[in-house]
Amino acid sequence: MVVADQTAQFSLSEVKVGLIAGAGGLIRLPRAVPQKLATEMILTGRRLSADEALDHGLVNRVVPAGTALDGARALAADILASSPTSVRISLRTMEETQGVADTVDAVTRPSDAVDNLMLSNDMVEGLTAFAQKRPPQWKNR
């Protein structure tokens, strides 16, 4: 996850000095933004503004200049307000299914992660708190 200062710029400018983005940029960028945009950035060194990066999904949030740390803390607070069990299982499921090309296959892929969630105290607490219209008290169990 990325929080960008409004003044941030993103590029792979190695071609401007006779190099390539060989430390992984040539692999990661085409997986993060549309292929045509990645190709243009890689072959020309084109820079994206923070707002362009947001539009293309390269960053999660753009915040005012000088407030990137505060913006990152706000994003972290949003995550911390969620069930730690659900966050952990969501990340695990995303990782387990990342290489499964077919969406139906990915969704129906057997995983004990969902079973673990359905048996968790956090799931019961979340549903109970929702029904009682109160904030949940997560236990990470």
Between residues 3 and 101, the one the model is more confident about: 3
The C-alpha atoms of residue 88 and residue 45 are separated, in whole angstroms, by: 37
Residue with tokens 């219209």: 133
Tell me, what's the pLDDT at 96?
87
Is there a single domain that holds both residue 10 and residue 69? yes
Position 137 in a domain: no
pTM beyond 0.85: no
Does 118 have pLDDT greater than 90?
no
Does 109 have pLDDT greater than 90?
no
Is there a single domain that holds both residue 126 and residue 73? no
Position 71 in a domain: yes
Position 139 in a domain: no
Tell me, what's the pLDDT at 4?
97
Q: Please give the tally of structural domains in the chain.
A: 2
Is there a single domain that holds both residue 89 and residue 38? no
Is there a single domain that holds both residue 32 and residue 88? no
Residue 106 CB burial class (10 angstroms; 0-12, 13-18, ≥19): middle
Does 49 have pLDDT greater than 90?
yes
63 phi-psi bin (left φ>0, alpha ψ -120 to 50, beta other): beta
pLDDT digits (tens, 9 = 90+) for 68-108: 999 999 999 999 999 999 999 999 988 888 888 888 988 88
Is there a single domain that holds both residue 15 and residue 39? yes
Is there a single domain that holds both residue 108 and residue 69? no
Confidence class for position 61, pLDDT limits 50, 70, 90? very high
Is there a single domain that holds both residue 64 and residue 100? no
Is there a single domain that holds both residue 25 and residue 55? yes
Range of the domain at 110: 83-131
What average pLDDT does the chain have?
93
Is there a single domain that holds both residue 72 and residue 88? no
CATH code of the domain in which 31 resides: 3.90.226.20
